[in-house]
Amino acid sequence: MDRATSVEAHPSGGPTKAPKVDLPIGAGAVCQAFGARVYQREAIVDCLEHLLSAPASDIAPSAGIARTDGRRSHSVLIQSPTGSGKTFMGLVCAAVLQNALGLRVGWCAGRRELLRQAERENRKFGLGVEFTPISMFDREPPKVDLLVVDEAHHDGAMSMATLHGVIDPTFVIGLTATPFRRDRVKLCFEKTVRSCSIQRLVDDGFLSPYRHFTVPSWAPEDVAWQVAGDRARWGQSLVFFHTRAQAQACLAVLRAEGVRAELVTGDSDRDAQIRAFESGEVEVLISMNVLTEGFDCPSLKTVFCRPSSRTPTVQMAGRVFRLHAATPLKQIVQMRGSAMPFTRIVRPEEQHLLIDGQWRALGATRELDAEIEQQRLRLAEAKVAMPKIILRARDRARRRLLAIE
C-alpha cells in the first residue's frame, strides 16, 4: 500500500499544507513485521487505505466528523470483538501514519485502564508510537493531528463532541466491539471496517470456547447461592447486576458464606480490587457497568451476565474469552428468558440448564465424551473368555475341514 498523500497541519503549528510524502514501508509489511494476524492485517490495510486515499480537504462536507473550519476529519471506525487486538490494530495504524507523516497522535478513552493498556501494548510490541493520553472528559485537551478513540461507541456523547471541537484533528480512528448506542445517536465515521466475528476467533483458536449455563432467577440472593455453592465449578467469577442495591445484596450473601468478593463501582479503588482479583486474593468481582469495558483478566473463568440487550450482553460476556492454560473452557451464566441469550451470538461447546436444583446437560459434554472414551478403552483392553459351547463348535468345524482335506 505504498502511496503518496498530503496532510494539512493543525492551525496551532507547522505548515498549512504539508508536501506529499511516500510511505517508507507498506502497511502489509509493517503488519508482517509485528506478527499481525490475517484479520488484523486486513483491517489495518483497509483503514489506512481509506485514510490515505485523499487529502482531508477533499472530503465531502456531509461525511465525517465536523471540524471548526467547516470541513470534516478523515475518519474510520474499526469494529472488532473483545480480545481480537483492537488496541494493537489502532497502534499499528498510528505507527504507520506517524512515521510517514510526522503526525501528533492522541489516544483518547473514557477510563484510565484503557489508556494504560494502550501504553502497555505500545511497549510490548515495540511499536514506538509517541502519543498523548487524553481523557474523554478533558475540557482542555492537547492539539493532535491523529486522534485514536478507544471504545468509540462513546463518540456520540456530548463530551466527545466538545473534545473534537477543541482538538480539531485531521484524522480520527475509532475502535469498538459494539458500535451501537442505546440512545440511537449515530456515530459520524466515514467508513466502518469490520474485521471478524467472535465465532471466527473461537473457531480459529484465538479466543476460548465456552459452556453456557441457564438459571431460572437473577435475584441477588439466588445468584449468590449459585456462586457460593459450587466454587470449584465457577472458579474466578465476574457477576453483573443492574443496580448497586442488587450488587450489595449479592455481596453480603457471598461474604457471609466465606467467599472473598469485592464490589467494583465508579467510586471504589478498582485498580486495587482488580490487582487482588488477578493475584487470587479475591475470588469474585461484582459490578454494574464499570467492568464492561477495559477489564481483561485471562484467568477469569465465569461471567454471570445480567439480563440485557445485545450490546451490553456482548460487552459483559466478552470479558471471559481470553485464552488461559488453566481455564481452557470458559463459562457464561444467564437467566432463562434473557432478551439476548449469548448462544445466539457464539455457538457454545456445551449447554446446561438448572432444573429442580440440578444441572442437566443439553446434549453431549466434555465429561460425557471423556467417560465414553474411557469405557471404550476398557472394553478394548478387557480379556474375555469365549463360552465353552462356542469353543467346542469351533473345534468340530476344524476337525471337519481336516477330514475333507
> For 371-384, what is the HEC assignment?
HHHHHHHHHHHCCC
Q: What residues have CB less than 8 Å from 195, skipping those under 6 apart?
A: 39, 40, 42, 43, 78, 79, 80, 81, 84, 89
User: Residue 350 sits in a domain of what CATH number?
Assistant: 3.40.50.300
Within this chain, do residues 20 and 162 fall inside the same structural domain, yes or no? yes
Cβ distance 74 to 190 under 8 Å?
yes
Burial class (CB in 10 A: 0-12, 13-18, 19+), 14: middle
Query: How does residue 278 score in pLDDT terms, banded at 50, 70 and 90?
Result: very high
List, in sequence order, every beta strand (DSSP E) within 216-341.
Answer: 237-240, 261-264, 284-287, 302-304, 330-335
Within this chain, do residues 57 and 138 fall inside the same structural domain, yes or no? yes
Q: Which of 343, 362, 381 represents a domain boundary (last residue)?
A: 362
Query: How does residue 66 score in pLDDT terms, banded at 50, 70 and 90?
Result: very low
Within this chain, do residues 159 and 248 fall inside the same structural domain, yes or no? no
Q: Which domain holds residue 394?
A: 369-404
What's the grid cell of residue 126? Answer: 515495540
Q: Residue 19: how many CB atoms within 10 A of its CB?
A: 8
Query: How does residue 179 score in pLDDT terms, banded at 50, 70 and 90?
Result: confident
Domain count of the chain? 3
pLDDT tens-place string over residues 247-272: 999 999 999 999 999 999 989 999 99
Higher pLDDT, residue 27 or 101: 101
Cβ distance 217 to 188 under 8 Å?
no
Higher pLDDT, residue 107 or 366: 107
Within this chain, do residues 208 and 179 fall inside the same structural domain, yes or no? no
Cβ distance 178 to 201 under 8 Å?
no
Q: What was the pLDDT predicted at 41?
A: 93
Cβ distance 33 to 54 under 8 Å?
no
Within this chain, do residues 124 and 51 fall inside the same structural domain, yes or no? yes
pLDDT tens-place string over residues 149-169: 998 876 555 556 778 788 889
Query: How does residue 17 score in pLDDT terms, banded at 50, 70 and 90?
Result: very low
Residue 172 vs residues 93, 144, 369: alpha-carbon distances, Å: 11, 10, 50
